[in-house]
Structure formats: structure tokens, C-alpha cells
Amino acid sequence: MKTRDRILETSLKLFNGEGEAHTTTIDIANEMDISPGNLYYHFKGKDQIIAELYQQYELALGSTLSAPIEQPLSAEKNQVEDNWYYLYVVMEEMYQYRFLYYNLDDILQRYPDIRKGFKRLIQLKRASLFSICQNLLQQDIIDARDQQLLGLVDNMTLTLTFWFNYDQLLHDGRPPEITIHQGVLQLLTMVAPYLGDDELTFYRDCEEIYANLLQGTE
């Protein structure tokens, strides 16, 4: 692996584990066992590292979020189950760059370009969730009025955006699979009141899986 890529990988690990605000370029260089000058040769400071990590994140998540907009699930698919897996993938990708969410307000104030990028991502999250819910409505899997649908999408977007921050404050240090699974379950909980009896079966299965995961950590 090239030194530049190692710097990004190490920085991401430290930012996620120690917090971006508490990690310096010296910390990154020490973790890699390289000189600060070597790091400076590739990146002129922590700001450049954060900007490049964000570009990686927006590119990866943006591609995933675009999928249900560009190619909605067909009627033959198990809509609720497949969307559960899709949302799990989205949260997994977000979790890889969770430092952005842990210190979101501060980062958005310090980095105007990231602020613009995050606005694009939130709009894309909302569009993706709207496409999913609209497709569920068209397939008669959920039953909701237009205003209810818009409110549902906004609530899901809020949860998807701030879930990791909320989870860290409430349950600091939980295993990632618990954090992610509960986050996806929380999104499904919002959809559950609009589901029919057949689709609720899978939702109940998700509740049981989460309960078993919790028991395994006790």
C-alpha cells in the first residue's frame, strides 16, 4: 500500500476511535511510525486529510444511495426484506466514516466544502428513502397519505443522519453490529405502522434478531 493511502487509512482509524478533534498529524505519524515530514510531504495538514476522506465517503455513499432511485425494486422482490438489507449496507458505509457524525456540527462549521457536500448527501438520503417508500406505496405494501409519506421520509432521514451521534451519547462503546442493527430496526419501526400483516412478519423477525444480539452481549 502506498504511503498516501496508509495515511488516509490510519487517519480514518484514529478519527473514528479517538475523535477527529483529539487527533493530530503527529499522532497519525507516530501511529504509522513515520516522520511528520514524511506525512507533510503527502498532506499539508489535517485539513487536507479530512477533505480527502470526505470525498471518498461522499463518492462511496452517494453511489449506494442512488441505487433505489435509479432502479427501484420490482414487485417480484421481497420488498421489506430487501430494503432492510439495503439500509444495513447504507449504515455500514456510514459507520466506516462515523467520526464525521460524532463531531458533525464542528466539522461543518470548519469546512465549508464539506458542509456543501453533506447537504448534497442529506438531499440524496431523503430522495433515496422517498423512492423506497414511494415504491412500497405503489406496490400496495404500505398504506399512507401523501403528507404522511413525506413526514415518514423526513423522520427516516433525520434518524439515518443522526443515529450514530445519538447512539454514542446513549450507549458509548457498543459493538458496531448492535449499533447498526438497531439503527436499521429504528427505521423499520417508522414504516411498521403502515405495513400489512404479511409484511409485519419480517419486521417481527428483525425485532427478535436484535433481541438475541443484545442477549449475546450481556
How much is the pTM? Answer: 0.91
CA torsion angle for 116, 118, 119, 122 (degrees, to 10)?
A: 170
Query: Looking at residues 3-21, what average pLDDT do you find?
Result: 95
Q: Looking at per-residue confidence, does 199 or 26 come out higher? A: 26
Domain harbouring 130, CATH code: 1.10.357.10
Average pLDDT, whole number, for the chain? Answer: 91
Which residues have a Cβ under 8 Å from the Cβ of 96 and sit 6 or more positions away? 12, 16, 57
Q: Establish if 129 belongs to a structural domain.
A: yes
Grid coordinates representing 50 are: 479530512
Q: Establish if 14 belongs to a structural domain.
A: no
Strand partners, 195: 142
CA torsion angle for 40, 105, 121, 24 (degrees, to 10)?
A: 20
**75, pLDDT greater than 70:** no
How many structural domains compose the chain? 1
Interval 95-131: pLDDT, tens: 999 999 998 999 999 999 999 999 999 999 999 999 9
Amino acid at 108: L
DSSP 57-123: HHHHHHHHHHHHHHSPPPTTS-HHHHHHHHHHHHHHHHHHTTHHHHTHHHHHHH-HHHHHHHHHHHH
Q: Establish if 40 belongs to a structural domain.
A: no
- Asked if 192 and 203 count as a contact pair (C-beta separation under 8 A), the reply is yes
Q: Is 2 in a helix, a strand, or coil?
A: coil
Give percent above pLDDT 90 in the chain: 68
Q: Establish if 50 belongs to a structural domain.
A: no
| Structural domain for 98, as ranges | 73-217
CA angle 121, 155, 19 (to 5 degrees): 55
Q: Is 29 in a helix, a strand, or coil?
A: helix
Q: Establish if 170 belongs to a structural domain.
A: yes
Q: Establish if 109 belongs to a structural domain.
A: yes
Q: Establish if 156 belongs to a structural domain.
A: yes
**77, pLDDT greater than 70:** no
Q: Establish if 2 belongs to a structural domain.
A: no
Interval 148-195: pLDDT, tens: 889 999 999 999 999 999 999 898 878 999 999 999 999 999 998 988
Least Cα distance to 217 among 169, 168, 173, 175 occurs for 175
- Asked if 7 and 32 count as a contact pair (C-beta separation under 8 A), the reply is yes
Grid coordinates representing 49 are: 486529510
Question: How many Cα atoms within 13 Å fall on the side-chain side of residue 154?
Answer: 6
